[in-house]
Amino acid sequence: MSGIILATINAKWIHPSLALRLLKANLGDLEPRCKILEFALRQPLHEKTGPILAARPRILAFSVSIWNHTATAELLEALAPLWDGHPPAIILGGPEASYLPEDAALFRYADYVIRGEGETTFRKLCNHLLNLLPEMAPGVKFIDAPPVDPSSIAGGYRFYTEEDLSRKLTYVEASRGCPYGCEFCLSSAAKSRLTPAEQVREFPLDQFLGEMETLISRGARSFKFLDRTFNLDIGRAERILEFFLERLKPPMFVHFEMVPSRFPRELRRILTRFPPESLRLEIGIQTLNRETALLIGRPGDPEKELETLDFLRRETNAIVHADLIAGLPGEDMKSFAQGFDRLWKVRPAEIQLGILKCLPGTAINRHIEPFGMRFNPKPPYEVLETAEFPLRNMERIKNFARFWELIVNRGSFADMISHLFPPESPVFAPFMALSDRLLEHFGRNWGIDRRELRAAILEQIG
């Protein structure tokens, strides 16, 4: 019988959870009694229930995010009748569990919900449950966890196995939090619970770099930073970039999320030195409509942001993913198309077209009435329509996003793309027409064989 099982359902097998490893690392004396179980979204239910039941835990804790909310609920429901008279205490935490309303269906099978950062609160709760043997009162209990001080917690990197490091993404974290207030984003929702000093907290840099050194020596190859705004403190960013620049050997790479408004000369200079394939940047543009940007708490200078992307394409080897969101308040098809075409002109490697989500706890819901917005109440809470973006147009945009991913972002048709959609010409209208026709042709936008897709594109444009 295990004491504690820390479990989660990852989006894919290659995405291990740093959160579970941090929770285990901070269990103190209880750490040897804790086992991590990770599953992948596509695994059948019995492959998830089997290992959990076999472990016979006294505490079963799940990290819940937007992408595994439904699958976690299904798993908890499937487990409920199988405990054979000895159900564990079930604890839920993670970004999704932190903001759902107390009557959410997910909590039907939970005994405790930790809202916020769990490293210290989870240890205290486990100690309480295992050592004091309390009588479990019926009903779910909610615990507000205070933000942790990164310098006071133990690192979780030692729990990455050799297989994790050599075959999966290695998630790392040099800072926590974001000072910006984009209303659609969970980081901005978290900000409302924090004092200004707590909004961004940094892990001690020398210690962090020492941990990265150990990971590289153990075989880590693909580093993905969880920091929401890596280029906030330019001095720190430079030191971390310099560290990796000295050690990167093909096929190693590092991936950072950066805000487009903070690219001073010193940061640009170091980015130009990264060799091909070694640097991936995720740059959140979200909208190029100034009024919309202001409405959602994201005031920025679209010209400056596009100039940053243009610089990255012309003068660095970085593979840039630029994020754009459809369905934001105040934006219609015409303004979205203009933004998309402007972004296309600076030609990031990928344009990630996301659909607006109304995440529990975020302030975007204040626009629901004034902008006639309707959202799906179930995860991933996508917008169905807005006053300016009626249902039919939103469905076309979702179909556009799917075919854009298949045809452009995945790079499988690179030979055709530059010929079909030259960067100097607008791409939105012709690609929308193509994606409409492809949907009509296949009757779906998933599970399409690549050769059939190529033939259909040629037929449609021929």
Question: Does residue number 187 form part of the binding site for ligand SF4 (CB under 6 A)?
Answer: yes
Instruction: Compare residues 178 and 373 and give the one whose CB is closer to ligand SF4.
Output: 178
Q: Is 177 in the site for ligand SF4 (CB under 6 A)?
A: no
* Residues 202 and 150: beta-carbon distance below 8 Å: yes
Single out the segment in contact with ligand SF4 by CB under 6 A; choices: 5-13, 183-191, 410-418, 423-431: 183-191
Cross-strand bridge partners of residue 141 = 112
Of 119 and 227, the one with the shorter C-beta distance to ligand SF4 is: 227
Residue with the two structure tokens 């800072």: 175
Does 63 bind ligand SF4 (CB under 6 A)? Our answer is: no
Give whichever of 165 and 178 is closer to ligand SF4, judged by the CB atom: 178
Is residue 353 at the binding interface for ligand SF4, with CB under 6 A as the rule?
Answer: no
What is the C-alpha to C-alpha distance for residues 56 and 26, in angstroms, rounded to an integer? 22
Confirm if 191 and 181 have CB atoms less than 8 A apart: yes
Minimum Å gap between C-beta 98 and ligand SF4 is 15
Q: Is 259 in the site for ligand SF4 (CB under 6 A)?
A: yes
| 229 binds ligand SF4 per the rule CB under 6 A | yes
Residue 180 or 208: the one with the smaller Cβ distance to ligand SF4 is 180
If you count them, how many residues does the chain have? 462
DSSP 334-386: HHHHHHHHHHHHH--SEEEEEEPB--TT-GGGGGTTTTT-EE-SSTT-BEEE-
- Residue 228 makes contact with ligand SF4 by CB under 6 A: yes
From start to end of 87-208, where are the E strands? Answer: 89-93, 112-116, 141-145, 170-172, 175-176, 201-202
Beta carbon nearer to ligand SF4, 79 or 364: 364
Give the CA angle between residues 217, 219, 222 to the nearest 5°.
Answer: 115
Number of residues that bind ligand SF4 (CB under 6 A): 10
Interatomic CA distance for residues 351 and 344, integer angstroms = 8
Distance CA 178, CA 144 (A): 20
Q: Phi-psi bin for 330: left (phi > 0), alpha (psi -120 to 50), beta?
A: left
403 scored as a contact of ligand SF4 (CB under 6 A): no
Distance of alpha carbon 388 from alpha carbon 372, whole angstroms: 8
Nearest CB to ligand SF4, comparing residues 95 and 330: 95
Binding to ligand SF4 by residue 284, rule CB under 6 A?
Answer: yes
The verdict on 180 binding ligand SF4 (CB under 6 A) reads yes
Burial letters 179-191, b for 16+ CB under 10 A, else e = ebbbbbbbbbbbb
Q: Which amino acid is at 13?
A: W
Whole-angstrom CA distances from 359 to 97, 147, 257, 278, 374 are 11, 20, 20, 33, 13
Q: With CB under 6 A as the contact rule, which of the stretches 131-139, 174-182, 351-359, 380-388 interacts with ligand SF4?
A: 174-182
The minimum distance between CB 339 and ligand SF4, in angstroms, equals 16
CB 101 to ligand SF4: min, Å = 22
- Least Å distance between CB 199 and ligand SF4? 10
Indicate whether 287 belongs to the interface with ligand SF4 (CB under 6 A): no
Alpha-carbon distance values, 309 to 214, 257, 304, 418, 434 (Å): 33, 13, 9, 19, 26
- What is the sign of the dihedral through the CA atoms of 158, 163, 166 and 171? negative
Residue 361 interacting with ligand SF4 (CB under 6 A)? no
Q: Is 185 in the site for ligand SF4 (CB under 6 A)?
A: yes
When the beta carbons of 158 and 201 are compared against ligand SF4, the nearer one is 201
Nearer to ligand SF4, 359 or 438 (CB): 359
Of 25, 34, 178, 353, the one binding ligand SF4 by CB under 6 A: 178
Instruction: Return the range that interacts with ligand SF4 (CB under 6 A); candidates 31-39, 48-56, 163-171, 180-188.
Output: 180-188
In the list 98, 188, 231, 386, the residue contacting ligand SF4 (rule: CB under 6 A) is 188
Q: How far is the CB of 233 from ligand SF4 (least distance, A)?
A: 14
Q: Interface with ligand SF4 by CB under 6 A: which range of 133-141, 176-184, 212-220, 374-382? A: 176-184
CB 80 within 8 A of CB 109: yes
Inter-CA distances, 198 with 94, 233, 259, Å: 18, 15, 20
Shortest Cβ 229–ligand SF4 spacing (Å):
6
Nearer to ligand SF4, 212 or 259 (CB): 259
If DSSP codes are grouped into helix, strand and coil, which group holds residue 325?
strand
Q: Does 190 bind ligand SF4 (CB under 6 A)?
A: no
The dihedral through the CA atoms of 93, 153, 22, 191 has a sign that is positive
State the residues that interact with ligand SF4 by CB under 6 A. Answer: 178, 180, 182, 185, 187-188, 228-229, 259, 284
